[in-house]
Structures are given as structure tokens and as C-alpha cells.
Structure 1
Amino acid sequence: MTEVQDGTSDAELAASLGSGFTSEHADVNGVRLHYVTGGTGAPLVLLPGWPETWWEYRKVMPALAERYRVIAVDIRGMGGSGRPEAGYEKKSMARDVLELCKHLGHERVAIAGHGIGSMVAFAFAANHPEACDRLVMLNTTHIDESYYEFRIMPRPGEPGPYRWWLGFNLVPDFPEAVLEGRYRHMIDYMFGLSLTDPDAIPARDRDVYARAYDSADAIRSSKKWFQAYRQDIEDFYSYDKITVPMLGLAYGPFYDYMREKLPQQGTDVRVVQVEGSRNYLVEEQPQAVIDAITEFMG
């Protein structure tokens, strides 16, 4: 169970969202997964991205729980979930989610993800269409060969950001050596890079995230999501088009990218632009995310 600096546990964080939210664990597909559930209705799985945890969805979970059975999951290697040595390919992590849904008695779910979680959600829809009702991708498409083209050192005048953290997370041993006990620096850097309103994620919430990643073991596990990228790219090109309805939510330039790419990857696709945000849509524009998901879910 993940603790933060004020002594708050995942169970207490879940309870703070309102009556009916609970923090639980399940052993599925060779990993112990932590998840938070609340609400009634059709099941909706929420998968967070790096460098966050299930707490990323705190602002949208109560409203969504009025209509759906919300299941926010710490993916393999994240927060209160287990950190096994292997299984960080997004295809394997999608199997984790499938087995968790079966464990909870859900044969078919809607699934939404951000960042790494969006890649897992895409892999879920691609590999288990019989279990997927709808797919929501928040500001991130599944990794493909274009990632090999990201620049570390830009030419003069090229716009950022420069995704140095992708290579950084591939380096053996070094990230945990310099960030153990200091992960708040990475948290603040990433949020500083992509928040239009820094107050959208205040200090207490940043402490929740930093505490989840602060240990050497947690950093090693989170690195494995990036270290699996080569296999993820190979898997991506083996998938057929997504056949379930797909919604992409994104800001400015990435909205244009999603609008171009997602129709090539699915048969029933819509893309919505979220104003007033960059990467962290759920935390900066929660009402827009709630409205878009609710309309999409029907």
C-alpha cells in the first residue's frame, strides 16, 4: 500500500473521494494489482500514466461513478501494484487488466488510459476485442516507429519538448542511483513541462506521486515500461484495426496528430480537442474529460 508524506494510504485516499470508493488488491496473471472501485453501472476501467498513479483520476472518478462502475488500476509496476521482473510489454499488461476484469466478474468493459496507460488500453482493445466495449485514449497513441525519430539534441529553432526521459529510462542503474529519495524533482519537471496551470496539481498530490516512485525498486519497475518499447512497437504492427468504438482526447498539436493517426488504426473513431491543457488533461480539465467520456459511453 502506497504511503505519502502526511501518512495517507491508498485506502484513505480512496475513501476521500466519497462513500463507496474502496482500495483493493487482486492476484491475477502473475502480478498483484492494486485498484480502486466505486459507483454502479457498466464497468469503466481507468489506467494512469507515468509519473502518476490511479490518483490521477481523482477529479473525475466521483462524477463518473454516478453512471458507471469505475475501476482505477495501478498498472503492473506502479504504486500499490506488484513489481515483478518481467511482463512489462503492453500486450502482457493488457492481459493483466483482462484477468482483473474477469476476477471482478466483468466479461466486457469500457477502458480509458493516459500515457503508458493509453498504450495498455489500446493493446487491450487490440488483443481482447471480445472483452472491450469502448476505448478512450487520453493524449497518447500506442507507440510506433516514430518514437525512434524523437530528437535529444534539436536543431536550432525546432520546437520542444525534447523527450530525453525516454532514453534516460533505458539507462541501466543510473536513474535509480540519482533519483532514489528525490523523485519529486522528476515529478515537478514533468508537470512544469506540460501543465498550463501549475496549481492544477498541488503539492499534496505531487507528494502522492513522488512517494509512489521514490524507491529504487519503484524506479526500476517504472523503467521497464520504457524498456519494453521495442517489443511494443513490434506488437503494434501485428495488430489489426481496432473494431470497437474509439475516442481520442488531446490538446492542440497532438489533437492534430491523433486526428490523422487514429482513423488509420480503428474502424469507428472520433477525436475531441480539449482546450486549456497540454498533457495532463484529466487533472487540468476534468469536466471536459467527464463530458467527453459520458457522451461517448452513452
Structure 2
Amino acid sequence: MKSPIGALRAIAIAAAIAATGTLAPPAAHAAQPAKISKAELSDTALVKSLPGFSNGYAEVNGTRLHYVEGGKGETLVLLPGWPQTWWAFHKIMPELSKHYRVIALDLRGMGGSAKPEGGYDKKNMAKDVLELLKQKGIEKAHIAGHDIGAQVAWSYAANFPQATGKLVMMDVPHPDQGLYSWPILPGVGTFNEKIDERAPFAWWFAFHQVKGLPEKLLAGRVHLEQEWFFTYLLKDEAALSPKDRAIYASAYNSADAIRAGNAWYQAFPQDIVDEKEYKKLEMPVLGIAGPGYGWLSSTLAAKASNARTIRLENSGHFVQEEAPADTTRHMIEFLK
């Protein structure tokens, strides 16, 4: 956040990166991404691996969004999070498209979408989604999001309930006042290579508040931060293939992409202000969680009238990639 303590924590982390070239002890993964050509990593190439899907672009709310669409039926919008792109849903999109018209977006600042200087508060990003759907003649849709995408999904449902069918939240809720109480130091013995679900330490929330410095440190080698993050939050590290990792590294490797992704976190203080005005959600809400179960389930119970949260014991943070069959099954059962 913008507190002096948060800034000090970010400076300390930045200094560690500068000194060692990594975000963790030498045991952490820091290998170069797989050698895959840019053409193979392009959205054009990736969408060819998903029969029935196609790329699309739309000028909405003062920015340009990239999306991938396929299937028929009621509309289901998929919103990914950091540090990923629409590709985060590629394992579940084919099955979902048998039942729904699936639209997987790159959020403002992500992947094939534009990276404007501002507009990264979740309320405005929800407006991006609304305008895209209106442009396509869709008055109402189911909304599902993971990580930052879940925060945008919640904001969409809170601000546009008339345009929301059902809501699916994956492992992360919307920012609220509680974030200001998160610790700036980990408890003794709680911060290791893998997340301690009883005492998670989300240091990157503070690091991403710093403007300008992360781009200088990480541009051209963003895989260092991503590999640390994947190691920390994945239960099954094989769930993200070398190609998946190369896709995400390529998407965030420029200074502009790092700036835009960090802007989602820099908007948290405004998101918290906006959240205070939101009414309790009345539409059906499903939470699907790995290590974020406690945080997500308690938030949904307090802020949604008709919500339940499922814990996937076999999954880390990336539920749609670590447990795609279970995630898909729970989503379809819920949306029906």
C-alpha cells in the first residue's frame, strides 16, 4: 500500500533483487523460460490449439481489449489474474464451451489488451467488461474470475447486478479494509519456499506499489519473479508446463507490461474505498479455492446472501490449471 512501512518493505525486497538477481534463496526456481519462438507464443498461434475459438478485439471505455471467444448458449465471461493472461483458462475453456458462449478476456493492461496509463481500479475495469458485452449485444452474463480477475468480477457484480447472472470467484476476493492489517513481516518459521496457508506472506502486494522501480529491475527477466511466485503458490508445479511459463513470461517481460500489471495492485486503496459502498450481493455466488479458502470463504459469507465456497484439496492458487476437471465440474453444476 502507500504506508511508509509498506514502502520500506518494497525497498528491502528491491534491494535483495538488485544484490542477488532473484527473489528467493538459490534453491528457488530461476531458470530461463523455455526457448519457444514469439510466433508460437502469439495469441494467433495459441487460439489455434483450441478448436472452435477465435481471437477478437474491441475498443471500449477508452481502451482496447483482446478476448478469445467460442461456444454457444448463455454467456460466461472468464477474467484472469496476475501474472497470467486469458491462457490461464485454456484447460477448462473447451469443456465449458460445450455448455456456454465463453469469452476469456485479457484485462486492461494484460496480454493482447492495451496498457493505458490509468483506469486500473476494479470498478473501471468492470466497466470495460460491461461495455464489451454491450457492444456484442449481450445484456446479461455469468462472470467468473481468478485472482485480480476475481476482484474485477466482484466489482462487476456489485456495480452491474442487472447484467450479472451468477458469479464464480477463484481463490481471491475483492480488496477490502482488511488488507491494511496484513503483516509486513512473516512470523518465525512461516515464510518458506511454499505458502503456509495459516500465515501467507503476500510481500508482492507491497512491492507492486512502487512505481518505476520494478520495471527497471525486472524488464527482460520477469521470469525471476514469476518463477518464485509459481513455486510459492502452486501445489503441483507440473500443472504449469514450460510452454505455459514461457507464455506468461513473454506477456509481462516489457517495462510497459510490468507497469500495467503493477497498476492493478496500486489501485487497491481506491478499490477499498469503492468496496465500502457496495451492497451485499444477492445473485448466486460460488467460491472455488486452494490456499485462499479461508480468506475467500469468510469474505463471501459476510458479503453475499447466497454463497458457498468449495475447497480443492489437491490444488494450490491456480485452481483452473491445477485442478481443471474439478473446477470445470463445479462451475457447470453451479451455473446450471
TM-score > 0.5 by shorter chain: yes
Normalising to structure 2: TM-score of the pair? Answer: 0.85
The Cα of 1:197 is off from its aligned counterpart by 1.2
Match of 1:231 in 2: 270
Match of 1:119 in 2: 151
Match of 1:45 in 2: 77
1:47·1:54 contact (CA, 8 Å) conserved in 2? yes
Normalising to structure 1: TM-score of the pair? Answer: 0.95
Post-superposition Cα deviations, 1:111-149, rounded to whole Å, max 9, x if no partner, equal 000010000000000000010001000000111112112
> Is residue 162 of structure 1 aligned with residue 201 of structure 2?
yes
Secondary structure at the aligned position of 1:7 is classed as: helix
Match of 1:100 in 2: 132
Match of 1:86 in 2: 118
Equivalent positions of 1:93-242 (< 5 A) are 93-158=125-190, 159=196, 160-242=199-281
Deviates more, 1:37-46 or 1:270-279: 270-279
Aligned partners of 1:230 and 1:257: how far apart in 2?
18
Q: CA RMSD, aligned part only? A: 1.2
Q: Which 4+ stretches in 1 moved above 6 angstroms?
A: none
Aligned partners of 2:211 and 2:60: how far apart in 1?
28
The Cα of 1:297 is off from its aligned counterpart by 0.6
What count of residue pairs does the alignment treat as equivalent? 293
The Cα of 1:152 is off from its aligned counterpart by 2.8
Aligned partners of 1:180 and 1:155: how far apart in 2?
31
Secondary structure at the aligned position of 1:32 is classed as: strand
Partner AA of 1:255 in structure 2: Y
2:125·2:152 contact (CA, 8 Å) conserved in 1? yes
Equivalent positions of 1:214-293 (< 5 A) are 214-251=253-290, 254-293=292-331
Secondary structure at the aligned position of 1:231 is classed as: helix
Deviates more, 1:154-163 or 1:190-199: 154-163
Aligned partners of 1:259 and 1:6: how far apart in 2?
40
Secondary structure at the aligned position of 1:66 is classed as: coil
2:39·2:45 contact (CA, 8 Å) conserved in 1? no
1:5·1:211 contact (CA, 8 Å) conserved in 2? no
Aligned partners of 1:255 and 1:269: how far apart in 2?
13
2:48 to 2, 9, 15: 15
2:56·2:66 contact (CA, 8 Å) conserved in 1? yes
Structure 1: runs of 5 or more not aligned: none
Post-superposition Cα deviations, 1:249-280, rounded to whole Å, max 9, x if no partner, equal 1125x323333221211111121111211201
Aligned partners of 2:259 and 2:81: how far apart in 1?
16
Post-superposition Cα deviations, 1:207-238, rounded to whole Å, max 9, x if no partner, equal 00000000001111111101110000010111
1:60·1:287 contact (CA, 8 Å) conserved in 2? yes
Q: Which has the higher contact order (CA 8 A, sep 6+)?
A: 2
2:172·2:295 contact (CA, 8 Å) conserved in 1? no
Aligned partners of 2:257 and 2:139: how far apart in 1?
31
- For the pair shown, which has the larger CA radius of gyration, 1 or 2? 2
The Cα of 1:157 is off from its aligned counterpart by 4.0
1:5·1:207 contact (CA, 8 Å) conserved in 2? no
Structure 2: runs of 5 or more not aligned: 1-35, 191-195
Aligned partners of 2:181 and 2:316: how far apart in 1?
21
Aligned partners of 1:125 and 1:43: how far apart in 2?
15
